Structure 1
Amino acid sequence: MTKRMEHDLIGDREIDNELYYGVQTARAQENFHITGVTLSQFPTFITSLAKVKKACALANYNLNLLEEHKKNAICEACDEIINGSLHDQFVVDVIQGGAGTSTNMNANEVIANRALEILGHEKGEYQHLHPNNDVNKSQSTNDSYPTAFRIALFEKLYELVDSMKVLRKSCMVKAEEFKDVIKMGRTQLQDAVPMTLGQEFHSYVTMIDEDIERLIGAQQLVREMNLGATAIGTGINSHPEYAHEVEQRLQEVTGRPFVTAKDLVEATQDTGAYVQISGVLKRVAIKISKICNDLRLLSSGPRTGLNEINLPAMQPGSSIMPGKVNPVIPEVVNQVAFQVIGADVTITMASEGGQLQLNVFEPVIAYNLFNSINMMKNAFETLSEKCIDGITANEEHCKSLVLNSIGLVTALNPYIGYENSTNVAKEALESGRSVYDIVLEKQLLTQSELDEIIKPENMIKPRMVSKKQ
């Protein structure tokens, strides 16, 4: 394997000639053995970095700061990366010191060396096209890294919303399928009043709808970027018209409505958007986890639990108990929620830890936000496909629980009065007999009257009633 010699502030270093990254990336690869997770595992982030570099090259060219042949080569190299090439050359650990400098230099070096090849030169011949002087022209890590992060986050949130729409559709199908399945609602895990299983699943649809709205709202926070700020927001080493020009080029390259922040000094140090997005992710995770808790309770048993619904049997549930099947899909989604909640704490502390004109902890914020979104997306699609789509209802069992529940007296209260309802409930508890039988025995209602009252459609929504005299 042939080698090439590169140098930086620290000194000279040999680089395998087949590699597109250079000396600064190699040093970062040695320094940061932290997660074992490299940039290559976050392709959306890599393509976003390439989009930033392409937009910057176009802006620099339009301002007569970059020669046309260099602009063309840089843009062609960026397009290749955007289309999926060279991702294996992004080798730096996602958590790194230096506020993302190693990530930025990894991108600069890969793009520069590929552009050199396009121009007919050898990798490392930086006198013809340089990672810092040309690819990184008019930029700093402190504006290019956050901008790429925000572009990637904007796209990843679309993916998460799409997965939630899949989950919503599955719940809506079940809401319609179970619209006539009468069951007992519960509060404090105790019998409350009748409802339908369809209403229960429709409530999940509404919960998901609300959180989709929250995510779309939070997504708008990352439309504002600080590209053009360079080091701290003053725009040092950039053309006076550069910030406006690169905003236009970035919109063209991404096809998204990204805008330049009004105060670039503020935008370079502020990570409040990430805190809010993380908070919304936590909200989504908590609510979906609650749905999974419900599914585990409703399917519990099957002989000694609620057993109102059946979850699809995905795998044997025990190495020692034959016949046992566990609710493994809701369980794994619960665990994803716990992870997202923990990540929110990390993001909170990393954002709080920013000092003066820069928050150096954006890499750990990016890592946790990308991880949370990826895990949630996968979890929601799994929950939809491998659990909710296959749920069936134990309709007769649900109905028998209603007829035998003490909670049925609440539905009878407007007809037989509070005192009679209390006495019936007390006797049912003490005797173990059903409310239905006791009401008929005491002749508080006729069977036809009672059957009319406990029809599902008469117990699950407001209804004008007249008390029996």
Structure 2
Amino acid sequence: MAARRRSATPRSSRGSIRTRLAAPSGTRIEKDSLGACAVPAGALYGIHTVRAVENLGFSGRILANYPDYICALATVKKAAARANRDARVIDARRQGAIECACDALIRGEHLPQFPIDLLAGGGSIAVNMNVNEVIANLASEHLGGARGTYQPVHPKVHVNASQSTADVCHTAVRMTMLTRWSGLRRALVQCVAAFRAKADELRPVVTISRTCLQDASPVSLGELFGGHAEAIARRTGELAQSVRALTQINLGGTAIGSGSGASASYRRAIIKRLNEIAGRKFTLRPNLFDAAQNIDDLASVSAQLAMLAEVLIKIAQDVRLLASGPEGGFGEIILPAVQEGSSIFPGKINPVIPETMLQCCFQVLGCERATRLALERGELNLNVFEGAAAANVFDAIEMMERSIARFTERCVIGIVANRKRCRELASHARY
């Protein structure tokens, strides 16, 4: 009876399996070690990406929203393809197809194909596999293959050859921060210049100084602005120094710094290939095991961003106080009117630009705390939370760049002294 039951059931079970594995309309079926999964038929990504979106997405901070990070990842993959060709790990035909695919991503194409959440668990493997799958499908199509078959280019065997998520994302993260820093640096330089120019303009204006928010001696209004300029310049220099350390990377160290899975020929070639494609001078970290375990270089950048935020909080508060009033406050400066300030009080103008700067800085300080937690929780041989640190530093740099640029252009440059009020206050100075 048992034998008859076994012979009777396969017919119906085989039918149900066929039904279960049939691709729903508009999808294709891909398989991995866990089984089969439906993937949108036109997607350049594959099963690993679909699973990660279903299992891990929560924050809305998707890879598609970070095109500079995708560009950096594609640059690393392009360099790896050349180094793998040098090491005879892949042939010239596949190398050319992979490079062609990488070039499309470097140009900013196919952004909707990157739905991965940057804060997903698993040490950023979802990010790496999303990129691997997209490149593999583009490269395979370039060589006449069909999307989703990964023939003749496979995401792991060819695109990810000699690499690990750990060294790929480590390198691309630092490349992205270097790129983002250039924009923030420009904004900071312009902000310092604006404060210095405003200091010169306001130096003839004498008002009252305050200590402990109590009246003190007469002082030039320009001296306060000159101090603000120097504080921002100093923080810019310290931040630049922390960013320079990011040119030391671990590409070739693979998962934990040992280089396991990468040949000696590949490891000799990879940094040279990256530098020629990226147009930068990257060097290997002195200890690749350290690089896998510790992300204090990212935390250092984050800490400097936090200190910059704290300085800017002080400056924005000063500007807001000096502009308070016009009758019941300090009223020593007049800010550019950029927006109506009230739905109920006619003619009220609020210091919205300094307040926006303050709220940006609050967010940056939150990013710094998250980055520090990621540093602290990097247990043993690999810090799997580097992706969370990276996302927060990315966001902090971008928020700072935008907010500082607006603060400079729409507030600092247009500040005007209320000379009558300043003279009145200076006449009441106690010392």
> Is the TM value for this pair above 0.5?
yes
Q: Which amino acid aligns with 1:231?
A: A
Aligned residue number for residue 289 of structure 1: 313
Task: Look up the equivalent residue of 1:219 and give its one-letter code.
Answer: V
Q: 2:13 maps to which residue?
A: none
Matched with 2:372 is 348
Q: 356, 362, 372: which one pairs with 1:338?
A: 362
How far apart are the structure 2 equivalents of 1:170 and 1:332? Answer: 18
- The answer to whether 1:200 aligns with 2:215 is no
Hey, what's the Cα distance between the residues in 2 that align with 1:213 and 1:2?
54
User: Is the 1:243–1:260 Cα contact (8 Å) retained in structure 2?
Assistant: no
CA contact (8 A) 1:73 1:116 kept: yes
Contact 2:119 2:391 in 1 (8 A): yes
Where 1:185 maps in the other structure, the secondary structure is strand
Q: Deviations over 1:205-231 (max 9, x none)?
A: 111111111111001121111111112
Deviations 1:411-437 (A, max 9, x none): xxxxxxxxxxxxxxxxxxxxxxxxxxx
Match of 2:6 in 1: none
What's the counterpart of residue 324 of structure 1? 348
Maintained 8 Å contact 1:161/1:215 = no
| Structure 2 contact 86–266 (Cα < 8 Å) conserved | no
For the residue of structure 1 that corresponds to 2:39, the secondary structure is strand
Instruction: Look up the match of 2:409.
Output: 385
Contact 2:63 2:114 in 1 (8 A): yes
Q: Report the Cα distance in structure 2 between the residues aligned to 1:16 and 1:136, rounded to whole angstroms.
A: 23
Q: Is the 8 A contact 2:86 2:265 kept in 1?
A: no
Partners of 2:419 and 2:306 in 1: how far apart? 34
Shift of 1:9: 1.4
Question: Contact between 1:157 and 1:215, CA under 8 Å: does it hold in 2?
Answer: no
**C-alpha distance in 2 between matches for 1:74 and 1:4:** 23
Among 62, 66, 89, the alignment partner of 2:90 is 66
Residue matched to 1:258: 282
CA distance in 2, matches of 1:129, 1:357: 31
Task: Give the Å deviation of 1:317.
Answer: 1.7
Q: Secondary structure at the match of 1:390?
A: coil
Q: Distance in 1 between matches of 2:340 and 2:38?
A: 54
Tell me, yes or no, if the aligned pair for 1:77 and 1:115 is still in contact at 8 Å: yes
1:210 aligns with 2:234: yes
Alignment partner, residue 272 of structure 1: 296
**CA separation in 2, counterparts of 1:300 and 1:330?**
12
- Whether 1:9 aligns to 2:33 is yes
Q: Equivalents in 2 of 1:21, 1:160: separation in Å?
A: 32
Amino acid at match of 1:23: I
The reply to whether residue 183 of structure 1 matches residue 179 of structure 2 is no
Which residue identity is paired with 1:388?
Answer: V
Q: Do the aligned residues in 1 keep the contact of 2:218 with 2:429 (CA within 8 Å)?
A: no
Inter-partner Cα distance in structure 2 for 1:329 and 1:397: 23
Give the corresponding residue for 2:102. Answer: 78
Compute the displacement of 1:156 (Å): 1.2
CA distance in 2, matches of 1:370, 1:146: 13
Amino acid at match of 1:42: Y
Match for residue 263 of structure 2? 239
User: 2: distance between equivalents of 1:215 and 1:155?
Assistant: 14
DSSP-derived class of the 2:53 partner: helix
State how far apart, in whole Å, the 1-side matches of 2:167 and 2:33 are: 22
Q: Which amino acid aligns with 1:18?
A: G
Once the two structures are superposed, residues 18-42 of structure 1 have per-residue CA deviations (whole angstroms, 9 ceiling, x without a partner) of: 1100110011111123112211111
Quote the sequence identity (%): 39
The 5 Å alignment of 1:401-416 reads 401-407=425-431
- Secondary structure of the residue that 1:281 maps to in structure 2? helix
Q: What is the DSSP-based 3-state SS (H/G/I as helix, E as strand, rest coil) of the residue aligned with 2:149?
A: coil
Q: CA deviation at 1:404?
A: 2.1
Structure 2: how far apart are the matches of 1:270 and 1:144? 15
Query: Is 2:186 the partner of 1:162?
Result: yes
Q: Counterpart of 1:356 in structure 2: which amino acid?
A: L
Alpha-carbon shift at residue 191 of structure 1 (Å): 2.0
Q: Could you tell me how far apart the structure 2 residues matched to 1:406 and 1:323 are? A: 35
What whole-Å deviation, never above 9, does each CA across 1:447-468 have from its counterpart, x for those lacking one? xxxxxxxxxxxxxxxxxxxxxx
Q: How many residues align?
A: 407
Equivalent position to 1:44, from 48, 68, 72: 68
Query: Which runs of structure 1 show a deviation greater than 3 angstroms over 4 or more consecutive aligned residues?
Result: none
Residue 2 of structure 1: how far off its partner (Å): 4.3
Q: 2:250 aligns with which of 226, 236, 242?
A: 226
User: Which shows bigger deviation, 253-262 or 316-325?
Assistant: 316-325
Q: What residue in structure 2 maps to residue 23 of structure 1?
A: 47
**If the length of structure 2 is used for normalisation, what is the TM-score?**
0.92
CA distance in structure 2 between the aligned counterparts of 1:163 and 1:20, rounded to whole angstroms: 37
Matched-pair contact (CA < 8 Å) for 2:69–2:176: yes
Aligned to 2:335: 311
Amino acid at match of 1:258: F
Please say if residues 39 and 46 of structure 1, whose CA atoms lie closer than 8 Å, have aligned partners that are also in contact: yes
Which SS does the other structure have where 1:54 is aligned?
Answer: helix
Whichever residue aligns with residue 266 of structure 1, its letter is: D
Partner AA of 1:339 in structure 2: Q
Match for 2:111 among 87, 91, 101? 87
Deviations 1:65-100 (A, max 9, x none): 111011111111111111110122111111101000
1:116 and 1:123 in contact (8 A); partners too: yes
Taking the aligned partners of 2:290 and 2:227, their CA distance within structure 1 comes to 41
**C-alpha distance in 2 between matches for 1:166 and 1:75:** 38
* Structure 2 segments unaligned to the other structure (5+ residues): 1-24
Distance 1:345 1:126 in 2: 41
CA distance in 2, matches of 1:229, 1:52: 14
Q: Contact 2:140–2:151 at 8 Å: present in 1 too?
A: no
Retained in 1: the 8 A contact 2:316–2:355? yes
The answer (yes or no) to whether the contact 2:190–2:408 under 8 Å persists in 1 is yes
Equivalent runs, 1:127-146 vs 2, <5 Å: 127-146=151-170
SS of residue in 2 equivalent to 1:306: coil
Say which one has the larger Rg: 1
